[in-house]
Amino acid sequence: MSMTRRTFTAASVAAAAAFFALPKTATAQEVQAAMDAFTGGAELGSDGITLIAPEIAENGNTVPIEVDAPGAEAIMVFAAGNPLPEVVTFNFGPAAGSQHATTRVRLAGEQEVIAIARKADGTFVSARQNVRVTIGGCGG
C-alpha cells in the first residue's frame, strides 16, 4: 500500500492517540473509597503527622516520600491522581524504633499525596502535600 497523504495523516493521529492513551486516573469517589477502607469513615485530625514529599519531582517514576507519625500503629499513603490511589501501608511492630519510614513512589502527574496515620487510640490523622511532576510515572 502506498502512503498517501490521507493514510499518513490517519496513521499519525492513531499513533498520537496510542501515545497519549495513558491509564485513567482514579476519580474523587475512588480515592475517598480507598481512604474510607482504611479509616472506616472516621474523622481525620491533622496533628502529629508529617509527610515530606518534594514540591516538584523531576521524575514521577521515583519520588522520595517520608512519613512520620509518633504513636501511630499504621500509616497509609494515597496518591489522589494515580490510576490506583493506594500507594503503601506501613504497619509498625513492637520492635519499631519510631513511627517513621521513607520510600520511593510512582506518581502519574501533578497531584496531591495524602498520608493517614492510625493512632494507638484508634483516631486518625492526615497530612497532604501537593507534588508537581515533570515526567509522569505511569504508562508511557
- Please report whether residue 27 would count as binding another protein according to CB under 8 A: no
- Please report whether residue 40 would count as binding another protein according to CB under 8 A: no
For the CA atoms of 89, 87, 29, 34, the dihedral, rounded to the nearest 10 degrees, stands at -20
Radius of gyration of the chain (CA): 19
For the CA atoms of 52, 84, 132, 138, the dihedral, rounded to the nearest 10 degrees, stands at 120
Between 75 and 127, CB nearer to another protein: 75
Between 4 and 94, CB nearer to another protein: 94
Between 107 and 116, CB nearer to another protein: 107
Measured CA to CA in angstroms, residue 5 lies from 9, 13, 17, 18, 19 at distances of 6, 12, 18, 20, 21
Considering only residues 52-91, where is the footprint of another protein by CB under 8 A?
61-63, 79, 82-84, 86-91
Between 4 and 132, CB nearer to another protein: 132
Residues whose CB is less than 8 angstroms from the CB of residue 23 and which lie 6 or more positions away in sequence, other chains included = 83, 108, 138, 139
- Please report whether residue 18 would count as binding another protein according to CB under 8 A: yes
Residues lying near another protein in the complex (CB under 8 A) are found at 18, 23, 61-63, 79, 82-84, 86-98, 100-107, 137-140
